[in-house]
Chains A and B, each alone.
Chain A
Amino acid sequence: MTAQAVKTPLLDVTGLDVFYGDFQALFGVSLSVAAGGATALVGANGAGKTTLLRTIAGGQAAASGSISYRDEDLTAAPPHQRISRGIALVPEGRRLFGSLTVEENIQVGAAAAASADWPLDRIYGVFPMIAGRRRQRASTLSGGEQQAVAIARALAAAPSLLLLDEISLGLAPVVVEALYQTLAELRAAGTTLVIVEQDLRRAMAVCDDLVCLLEGRVALAAPVPAVTRDQVVAAYFGDRT
Chain B
Amino acid sequence: MTWVNAVIQGLLLGGQYALIACGLSLTFGVMRIVNLAHGDLAVCGAYLGLVLSTALGVPVWVTLPLLLPAAFCAGLALQALLFGRALRHGLLAPVLVTFGLSVMIENLLQVAATSDPRGLNGGTLALASFRIGSHITVSWLFMTAFLTACAVLSGLQLLLSRTAWGRQVRATADDLDTARLVGIRVRPLFATVAGIAVATAALAGVFIGTIGTFDPFAGANSLIFAFEAVVIGGIGSLWGTLIGGMALGITQVVVGQVNEAYSVLAVHLLFLAVLAVRPTGLFAGHQTAREAWGALG
Could you list which residues of chain A lie within 8 angstroms of chain B, going by C-beta atoms? 54, 57-59, 78-80, 83-84, 88-89, 91, 95, 97-101, 104-105, 107-109, 111-113, 137, 139, 153-154, 157
Known interface pairs A99-B174, A100-B174, A104-B171; 6 further A-B residue pairs with C-beta atoms within 8 A, sorted by A's residue number = A59-B177, A97-B174, A97-B179, A98-B174, A99-B293, A100-B167
B174→A79 contact, CB < 8 A? no
Asked if B112 is at the interface of the complex by the 8 Å CB criterion, the answer is no
Q: Give the residues from 260 to 297 in chain B that come closer than 8 angstroms, CB to CB, to chain A.
A: 290-291, 293-295, 297
Tell me which residues across on chain B come within 8 A of A59, comparing CB atoms. Answer: 177, 180-181
On chain A, the residues within 8 Å of B180 by CB distance are 58-59, 78-80
Is the C-beta of B32 less than 8 angstroms from some C-beta in chain A? no
Give the chain A neighbours of B173 by CB distance below 8 A. 99
CB distance from B152 to the nearest CB of A (A): 22
Interchain CB contact under 8 A, A109 and B183: yes
**Residues in B lying within 8 Å of A, measured CB to CB:** 164, 167-168, 170-171, 173-175, 177-185, 290-291, 293-295, 297
- Work out how many contacts link A and B, with CB atoms closer than 8 A: 86
Q: Are A99 and B181 in contact (CB under 8 A)?
A: no
Closest residue of chain A to B293 (Cβ to Cβ) is A99
Cβ contact within 8 Å between B170 and A111: no
- B171, A108: Cβ atoms closer than 8 Å: yes
* Least Cβ–Cβ distance between B170 and chain A, in angstroms: 6
Q: Please, could you name 22 A-B residue pairs with CB atoms under 8 Å apart, sorted by A?
A: A57-B181, A80-B183, A80-B184, A84-B183, A91-B178, A95-B177, A97-B175, A99-B173, A99-B290, A99-B291, A100-B174, A100-B294, A104-B167, A105-B171, A107-B164, A107-B167, A108-B168, A108-B179, A111-B168, A111-B185, A112-B184, A157-B183
Partner of B167, one of A58, A83, A88, A108: A108
Tell me whether A97 and B171 are in contact in the complex, defined as CB-CB below 8 angstroms, given that A107-B164, A137-B294, A139-B291 are known contacts: yes
**Complex Cα–Cα for A183 and B173 (A):** 30
Most buried by B among A83, A89, A104: A104
> Using Cβ atoms and an 8 Å threshold, which residues of chain B touch A99?
170, 173-174, 290-291, 293-295, 297
B20 to chain A, nearest CB (A): 25
Which residues of chain A are near B295, meaning CB under 8 Å? 99
A109-B291 contact, Cβ under 8 Å, with A59-B177, A95-B175, A97-B174:
no
Find B170's partner among A83, A100, A153, A154 (CB 8 Å cutoff).
Answer: A100
Q: Which residues of A contact B179 (CB under 8 A)?
A: 97, 108
B168 surroundings in chain A (CB, below 8 A): 108, 111
Cα separation A157 to B183 with both chains bound (whole Å): 9
Residues A79 and B181 in contact, CB atoms below 8 Å apart? yes
Cα(A79)–Cα(B171), bound, Å: 16
Could you say which residues of chain B place their CB within 8 Å of the CB of A88? 182
Contacts of B177 in A (CB 8 A): 59, 95
B235 to chain A, nearest CB (A): 13
Determine whether the beta carbon of B183 is less than 8 Å from that of A83: yes
Q: Are B178 and A79 in contact (CB under 8 A)?
A: no
| The 9 residue pairs across chains A and B that have the minimum distance between CB atoms | A99-B294, A112-B183, A83-B183, A95-B178, A97-B174, A80-B183, A97-B171, A111-B183, A108-B171
What residues of chain B lie closer than 8 Å to A78, measured between beta carbons? 180, 185
In the bound complex, CA of A4 to CA of B164 (Å):
40
Q: Are B174 and A91 in contact (CB under 8 A)?
A: no
Query: Could you tell me if B175 and A108 are in contact, using CB atoms closer than 8 angstroms?
Result: no
CA A235 – CA B174 in complex, angstroms? 39
Q: Tell me, in angstroms, the Cα distance from A83 to B185 when the chains sit together.
A: 11
Bound together, the chains give a CA A137 to CA B177 distance in angstroms of 20
**C-alpha gap A83/B181 in the complex (Å):** 9
Name the CB-closest residue of A to B184. Answer: A111
Q: How far, in whole Å, are A90 and B215 apart by their CA atoms in the complex?
A: 53
CA distance A104 to B295 in the complex (A): 13
Closest to B296 in A: A99
Q: Say whether B182 contacts A58, CB under 8 Å.
A: no
